[in-house]
Each structure stands twice: as C-alpha cells, then as structure tokens.
Amino acid sequence: MTQEKVPIAVFVSGRGRTLRNLQTSIDAGALPAKIVLVVGSRACPATSWAVEHGIATEIAPRMSGAEVEQLIQAHGVAWIVLAGYLKRLAIPVSMHGRVVNIHPGLLPKFGGRGMYGDRVHQAVIEAGETESGCTVHLVDDVYDHGEIIEQARCEVMADDTTEALAARVFALECELYPRVLAELFLQATAQ
C-alpha cells in the first residue's frame, strides 16, 4: 500500500539547504509528503528556490496565530516543518503537536533565543564539548523547548573549526530530519 502524501508547510529564513534536502527525500520516495507552502520570515534564497520550483510562497515577517491558522487552512496544511526559521512562531491551537523543528545541537544544551547556525557550533567548541549533533523536536511557544523526538550525535574534534563541525552536524541533519518526519507522519496516520 502506498502511503498518502502529507501536505506540509516549510518555514524558512535562510539558505534553504534543509528545505531542498526535504524535497530530495520526497523525490526519492523516502518521505511521504508534499510541500504545499513555503513561508519565509524574509525574502531569502530558500523562498527564491520555492518560487522557482512552483511552490506557493509567502513572505511574512510577523504573523499572529490567527494569520498562521488562516494560511494553513487555505493551503490544506497538515504539518508545519521549520527549516532554519529564525522567528518565534505563534502556533494556532489546531496545530499543537504538529509543528516540528531541527536544531543543530544537542538540546536542551545550546538552545534558546539567538542560538542558531554557527553560533551553536561556536558555543559547543568554546565549552570544550567532545560531542555534538542535532535534535528534532516538537515546537511550542518557547524557543527550542518542545518535546525532543530524536537526536543524532557526532564527535567534536580537538582541533575543530566552526565550519568543520557545522558540516559534520549538517550531514547528520540531512539523514535525521526526513527520517523522523516520515516516522511521525506514519504514526499520525496510524492513529
């Protein structure tokens, strides 16, 4: 039996590597989803990519819960997937438990407001950690706070640069995020 494709909205703010990785997983048949909407907190390479690929795209620096609700209703969105989205999202009640994020560190450490991208890797190196990784978690109203679903881990080398660590963690993200999303969607349809 082929699994139904879950309509998702992907929220972005930056380069769009995570967005493109999700599409690659979808195209490979590993993630039973369809990106029906991309929302950017600003115009950025991720939103340009979405427009070029014919995906409905909205740029919205600030949105109330009611506006998010209206947008996802209009596009028939079942899950919201954050992919490098740098704003706090007002989550409508109807979407509680169906908003997911990936963080480039091992939460609950190295999370919170202002902790994103290379800032996380820099902090991990400065703290002398020997291990880092990434975390897929549900999103609630506090930055990097919702229930942790799964983590992937890698070593931090003694002579690591921020760049080298970022690349190692991002490679983990590319495997972890689509796999965990596929599992979540499967569980949700089985319920």
The residues assigned a catalytic role are 103
| Cβ neighbours, 10 Å, residue 148 | 15
The closest residue (CB) to ligand GRF is 84
136 binds ligand GRF (CB under 6 A): no
- Quote the CA–CA distance of 132 and 183 in Å, as a whole number: 23
Instruction: Tell which one of 31, 91, 136, 173 touches ligand GRF (CB under 6 A).
Output: 173
Task: Record the tokens describing residue 36, joined without a space.
Answer: 């029906």
Pick 72 or 174: Cβ nearer ligand GRF: 174
The per-residue DSSP string of 93-108 comes to GGGTT-EEEEESS-TT
User: CB-wise, 1 or 113, nearer to ligand GRF?
Assistant: 113
Q: Which of 6, 8, 10, 18 binds ligand GRF (CB under 6 A)?
A: 18
Which of these ranges, 12-20, 59-67, 137-145, 146-154, lies near ligand GRF under the rule CB under 6 A? 12-20
Listing DSSP states for 140-184 in one string gives -SSTT-SPEEEEEEEEPPTT--HHHHHHHHHHHHHHHHHHHHHHH
Give the CB-side neighbour count of residue 63, counting CA atoms within 13 A.
Answer: 23
- The footprint of ligand GRF on residues 37-76 (CB under 6 A) is 46
User: Which residues contribute to the site for ligand GRF (CB under 6 A)?
Assistant: 12, 14-19, 46, 83-84, 102-104, 117, 134, 170, 173
